[in-house]
Protein backbone atom coordinates (compact mmCIF):
# COMPACT_ATOMS: atom_id res chain seq x y z
CA UNK A 1 0.00 0.00 0.00
CA UNK A 2 1.38 3.40 -0.97
CA UNK A 3 1.19 6.57 1.10
CA UNK A 4 -1.49 7.86 -1.28
CA UNK A 5 -3.73 4.91 -0.36
CA UNK A 6 -3.53 5.38 3.40
CA UNK A 7 -6.82 7.28 3.27
CA UNK A 8 -8.50 4.11 1.96
CA UNK A 9 -7.98 2.24 5.23
CA UNK A 10 -11.31 0.93 6.64
CA UNK A 11 -11.04 3.02 9.80
CA UNK A 12 -13.37 2.34 12.72
CA UNK A 13 -15.78 4.88 14.21
CA UNK A 14 -13.91 8.01 15.30
CA UNK A 15 -10.52 6.59 14.29
CA UNK A 16 -8.31 8.84 12.20
CA UNK A 17 -4.73 9.03 10.95
CA UNK A 18 -2.27 11.15 12.95
CA UNK A 19 0.96 10.46 11.08
CA UNK A 20 2.40 8.17 8.41
CA UNK A 21 5.82 7.23 7.09
CA UNK A 22 6.88 6.24 3.60
CA UNK A 23 8.15 2.97 5.10
CA UNK A 24 4.60 1.95 6.00
CA UNK A 25 4.27 2.89 9.68
CA UNK A 26 1.01 4.60 10.67
CA UNK A 27 -0.10 6.30 13.89
CA UNK A 28 -3.86 6.16 14.44
CA UNK A 29 -6.03 7.97 16.96
CA UNK A 30 -8.21 5.53 18.91
CA UNK A 31 -11.21 7.04 20.73
CA UNK A 32 -12.33 5.71 24.09
CA UNK A 33 -14.54 2.63 23.73
CA UNK A 34 -12.92 1.43 20.52
CA UNK A 35 -11.17 -1.96 20.63
CA UNK A 36 -7.56 -2.35 19.47
CA UNK A 37 -8.77 -5.55 17.82
CA UNK A 38 -12.02 -7.52 17.99
CA UNK A 39 -12.09 -10.03 20.85
CA UNK A 40 -14.73 -12.04 19.01
CA UNK A 41 -15.67 -12.10 15.34
CA UNK A 42 -18.82 -9.98 15.67
CA UNK A 43 -16.98 -7.05 17.32
CA UNK A 44 -15.45 -5.64 14.14
CA UNK A 45 -17.92 -2.72 14.29
CA UNK A 46 -16.27 -1.64 17.58
CA UNK A 47 -12.68 -2.16 16.42
CA UNK A 48 -9.83 -0.02 15.22
CA UNK A 49 -10.47 -1.16 11.64
CA UNK A 50 -13.64 -2.48 10.04
CA UNK A 51 -11.90 -5.63 8.84
CA UNK A 52 -11.33 -9.27 9.70
CA UNK A 53 -8.58 -9.95 12.22
CA UNK A 54 -6.06 -12.79 12.25
CA UNK A 55 -5.24 -13.45 15.92
CA UNK A 56 -2.21 -15.64 15.21
CA UNK A 57 -0.41 -13.11 13.00
CA UNK A 58 -1.94 -10.05 14.74
CA UNK A 59 -3.00 -8.52 11.45
CA UNK A 60 -6.15 -6.99 10.00
CA UNK A 61 -7.15 -8.34 6.58
CA UNK A 62 -9.52 -6.70 4.10
CA UNK A 63 -10.03 -6.31 0.35
CA UNK A 64 -9.61 -3.09 -1.58
CA UNK A 65 -9.61 -2.62 -5.36
CA UNK A 66 -9.82 -6.39 -5.79
CA UNK A 67 -6.69 -7.05 -3.73
CA UNK A 68 -6.19 -8.49 -0.25
CA UNK A 69 -4.67 -5.90 2.10
CA UNK A 70 -2.91 -6.39 5.43
CA UNK A 71 -2.55 -3.99 8.36
CA UNK A 72 -0.37 -5.28 11.20
CA UNK A 73 -1.28 -4.23 14.74
CA UNK A 74 1.89 -3.17 16.57
CA UNK A 75 0.70 -2.20 20.04
CA UNK A 76 -2.57 -2.06 21.96
CA UNK A 77 -4.53 0.28 24.19
CA UNK A 78 -7.25 -0.76 26.62
CA UNK A 79 -10.72 -0.16 25.20
CA UNK A 80 -11.51 2.75 27.61
CA UNK A 81 -8.13 4.43 26.95
CA UNK A 82 -7.89 6.96 24.12
CA UNK A 83 -4.91 8.08 22.09
CA UNK A 84 -2.16 6.85 19.82
CA UNK A 85 -1.89 3.29 18.54
CA UNK A 86 0.59 2.12 15.90
CA UNK A 87 -0.09 -0.11 12.89
CA UNK A 88 1.91 -0.93 9.76
CA UNK A 89 1.11 -1.90 6.18
CA UNK A 90 4.58 -3.40 5.81
CA UNK A 91 5.33 -6.68 7.60
CA UNK A 92 9.05 -5.92 7.96
CA UNK A 93 8.35 -2.54 9.56
CA UNK A 94 5.83 -4.17 11.89
CA UNK A 95 8.45 -6.67 13.09
CA UNK A 96 11.10 -3.99 13.59
CA UNK A 97 8.85 -1.69 15.61
CA UNK A 98 7.40 -4.58 17.65
CA UNK A 99 10.97 -5.47 18.58
CA UNK A 100 11.50 -1.93 19.86
CA UNK A 101 8.39 -2.27 22.02
CA UNK A 102 9.64 -5.62 23.36
CA UNK A 103 12.98 -4.02 24.26
CA UNK A 104 11.29 -1.02 25.93
CA UNK A 105 12.79 1.40 23.41
CA UNK A 106 9.54 3.16 22.50
CA UNK A 107 8.85 6.43 24.35
CA UNK A 108 5.20 6.89 25.27
CA UNK A 109 3.58 9.75 27.15
CA UNK A 110 0.16 9.49 28.79
CA UNK A 111 -2.02 11.98 30.61
CA UNK A 112 -4.30 10.91 33.44
CA UNK A 113 -6.75 12.63 35.73
CA UNK A 114 -6.33 11.02 39.15
CA UNK A 115 -8.17 11.36 42.45
CA UNK A 116 -6.66 13.57 45.18
CA UNK A 117 -4.08 16.31 44.93
CA UNK A 118 -0.51 15.04 44.83
CA UNK A 119 2.18 16.42 47.12
CA UNK A 120 5.32 15.58 45.10
CA UNK A 121 5.49 17.40 41.77
CA UNK A 122 7.42 14.58 40.07
CA UNK A 123 9.02 11.26 40.79
CA UNK A 124 9.34 7.61 39.87
CA UNK A 125 7.22 4.61 40.80
CA UNK A 126 8.63 1.10 40.96
CA UNK A 127 6.15 -1.56 42.03
CA UNK A 128 5.84 -5.30 42.15
CA UNK A 129 2.55 -6.20 40.49
CA UNK A 130 0.88 -9.50 39.80
CA UNK A 131 0.61 -11.04 36.36
CA UNK A 132 -1.47 -14.09 35.53
CA UNK A 133 0.55 -16.93 33.98
CA UNK A 134 -1.19 -20.03 32.71
CA UNK A 135 0.68 -23.34 32.98
CA UNK A 136 -1.27 -26.38 31.84
CA UNK A 137 -4.46 -24.30 32.17
CA UNK A 138 -3.74 -23.50 35.82
CA UNK A 139 -3.61 -19.83 36.73
CA UNK A 140 -0.38 -19.13 38.62
CA UNK A 141 0.29 -15.57 39.78
CA UNK A 142 3.67 -14.19 38.79
CA UNK A 143 5.20 -11.05 40.32
CA UNK A 144 6.80 -8.59 37.90
CA UNK A 145 8.30 -5.10 38.20
CA UNK A 146 6.45 -2.08 36.82
CA UNK A 147 8.23 1.28 36.50
CA UNK A 148 6.70 4.66 35.65
CA UNK A 149 7.91 8.25 35.74
CA UNK A 150 5.27 10.85 36.73
CA UNK A 151 4.95 14.63 36.72
CA UNK A 152 2.20 16.87 38.02
CA UNK A 153 0.85 19.12 35.25
CA UNK A 154 -2.13 20.80 36.87
CA UNK A 155 -3.98 20.82 40.18
CA UNK A 156 -7.28 22.77 40.21
CA UNK A 157 -7.62 24.94 43.33
CA UNK A 158 -11.34 24.32 43.60
CA UNK A 159 -13.72 21.83 42.12
CA UNK A 160 -12.91 18.13 42.27
CA UNK A 161 -9.88 17.04 44.37
CA UNK A 162 -7.95 15.81 41.33
CA UNK A 163 -4.56 16.09 39.63
CA UNK A 164 -3.62 16.04 35.95
CA UNK A 165 -0.58 13.77 35.65
CA UNK A 166 1.91 13.19 32.88
CA UNK A 167 2.93 9.53 32.93
CA UNK A 168 5.85 7.89 31.13
CA UNK A 169 5.87 4.09 31.51
CA UNK A 170 9.37 2.62 31.53
CA UNK A 171 8.04 -0.94 31.36
CA UNK A 172 5.06 -2.27 29.44
CA UNK A 173 2.82 -4.26 31.76
CA UNK A 174 -0.88 -4.97 31.30
CA UNK A 175 -2.93 -2.18 32.94
CA UNK A 176 0.34 -0.86 34.36
CA UNK A 177 -0.61 2.81 34.72
CA UNK A 178 -4.06 2.03 36.07
CA UNK A 179 -2.67 -0.39 38.67
CA UNK A 180 0.21 1.84 39.76
CA UNK A 181 -2.00 4.91 40.16
CA UNK A 182 -4.31 2.86 42.37
CA UNK A 183 -1.41 1.42 44.38
CA UNK A 184 -0.11 4.93 45.14
CA UNK A 185 -3.49 6.18 46.34
CA UNK A 186 -4.40 8.12 43.20
CA UNK A 187 -6.83 5.97 41.16
CA UNK A 188 -7.60 7.25 37.69
CA UNK A 189 -10.94 9.02 37.36
CA UNK A 190 -13.50 6.85 35.59
CA UNK A 191 -11.59 3.58 36.10
CA UNK A 192 -14.28 0.92 36.57
CA UNK A 193 -11.79 -1.77 37.60
CA UNK A 194 -9.17 -0.11 39.81
CA UNK A 195 -10.87 3.21 40.57
CA UNK A 196 -12.93 4.78 43.33
CA UNK A 197 -16.47 3.84 42.38
CA UNK A 198 -18.15 6.43 44.62
CA UNK A 199 -15.94 9.23 43.27
CA UNK A 200 -16.55 8.08 39.70
CA UNK A 201 -20.30 8.36 40.30
CA UNK A 202 -19.87 11.88 41.66
CA UNK A 203 -17.93 12.97 38.57
CA UNK A 204 -20.59 11.49 36.27
CA UNK A 205 -23.40 13.17 38.21
CA UNK A 206 -21.74 16.58 38.11
CA UNK A 207 -20.22 16.56 34.60
CA UNK A 208 -21.83 13.72 32.64
CA UNK A 209 -18.35 12.41 31.76
CA UNK A 210 -18.25 8.60 32.08
CA UNK A 211 -14.97 7.76 30.38
CA UNK A 212 -11.66 6.55 31.79
CA UNK A 213 -9.50 9.66 32.08
CA UNK A 214 -6.38 8.09 30.58
CA UNK A 215 -4.98 9.24 27.24
CA UNK A 216 -1.88 8.27 25.22
CA UNK A 217 -0.72 11.67 23.97
CA UNK A 218 2.67 11.03 22.39
CA UNK A 219 4.62 8.09 20.95
CA UNK A 220 8.08 8.15 19.42
CA UNK A 221 10.23 5.32 18.12
CA UNK A 222 13.48 4.91 16.22
CA UNK A 223 14.47 1.77 14.36
CA UNK A 224 17.14 0.65 11.91
CA UNK A 225 16.03 -0.32 8.38
CA UNK A 226 17.89 -0.64 5.07
CA UNK A 227 21.08 0.82 6.48
CA UNK A 228 19.54 3.92 8.04
CA UNK A 229 17.82 5.05 11.21
CA UNK A 230 14.11 5.83 10.86
CA UNK A 231 12.60 8.23 13.41
CA UNK A 232 8.84 8.32 13.86
CA UNK A 233 6.71 10.45 16.18
CA UNK A 234 3.02 11.12 16.69
CA UNK A 235 0.98 13.38 18.99
CA UNK A 236 -2.68 13.37 20.02
CA UNK A 237 -4.17 16.41 21.76
CA UNK A 238 -5.74 16.04 25.19
CA UNK A 239 -9.48 15.31 24.78
CA UNK A 240 -11.94 18.02 25.77
CA UNK A 241 -13.48 15.66 28.36
CA UNK A 242 -10.37 16.13 30.51
CA UNK A 243 -10.74 19.92 30.38
CA UNK A 244 -14.44 19.71 31.28
CA UNK A 245 -13.64 17.80 34.48
CA UNK A 246 -10.71 20.08 35.32
CA UNK A 247 -12.85 23.20 34.83
CA UNK A 248 -15.75 21.95 36.96
CA UNK A 249 -16.68 24.14 39.93
CA UNK A 250 -19.35 23.51 42.58
CA UNK A 251 -22.71 24.85 41.47
CA UNK A 252 -21.68 24.97 37.82
CA UNK A 253 -24.29 22.44 36.70
CA UNK A 254 -27.06 24.14 38.68
CA UNK A 255 -26.13 27.61 37.34
CA UNK A 256 -26.06 26.38 33.74
CA UNK A 257 -29.44 24.68 34.18
CA UNK A 258 -30.93 27.91 35.54
CA UNK A 259 -29.50 29.90 32.64
CA UNK A 260 -30.94 27.42 30.14
CA UNK A 261 -34.36 27.61 31.82
CA UNK A 262 -34.33 31.42 31.76
CA UNK A 263 -33.31 31.42 28.12
CA UNK A 264 -36.10 29.00 27.24
CA UNK A 265 -38.67 31.09 29.15
CA UNK A 266 -37.51 34.20 27.30
CA UNK A 267 -37.90 32.52 23.93
CA UNK A 268 -41.39 31.29 24.79
CA UNK A 269 -42.42 34.72 26.06
CA UNK A 270 -41.16 36.28 22.84
CA UNK A 271 -43.23 33.87 20.78
CA UNK A 272 -46.37 34.66 22.78
CA UNK A 273 -45.71 38.40 22.38
CA UNK A 274 -45.31 38.10 18.62
CA UNK A 275 -48.68 36.37 18.41
**What amino acid positions are annotated as catalytic residues?**
78
* Nearest by Cα to 33 from 19, 45, 16: 45
Rg over CA atoms, the chain: 22
Q: What angle do CA 103, 105, 107 make, to 5 degrees?
A: 140
In sequence order, the 6+-apart residues with CB closer than 8 A to the CB of 268 are none
The alpha carbon of 168 is separated from its chain's Cα centroid by a whole number of angstroms, namely 13
| 106, 116 contact by CB (below 8 A) | no
Q: Which DSSP category does 3 fall into?
A: G
The alpha carbon of 15 is separated from its chain's Cα centroid by a whole number of angstroms, namely 12
Amino acid sequence: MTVENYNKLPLGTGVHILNTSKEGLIALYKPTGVLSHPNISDETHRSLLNADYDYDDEVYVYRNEGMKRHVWLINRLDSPTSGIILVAVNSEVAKLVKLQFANHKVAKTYYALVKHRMKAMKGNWSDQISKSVYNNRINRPNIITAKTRYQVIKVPHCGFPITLLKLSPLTGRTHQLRVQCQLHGHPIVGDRTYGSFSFNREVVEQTGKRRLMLHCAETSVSYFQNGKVVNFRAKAALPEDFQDVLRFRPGMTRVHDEMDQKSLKGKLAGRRFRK
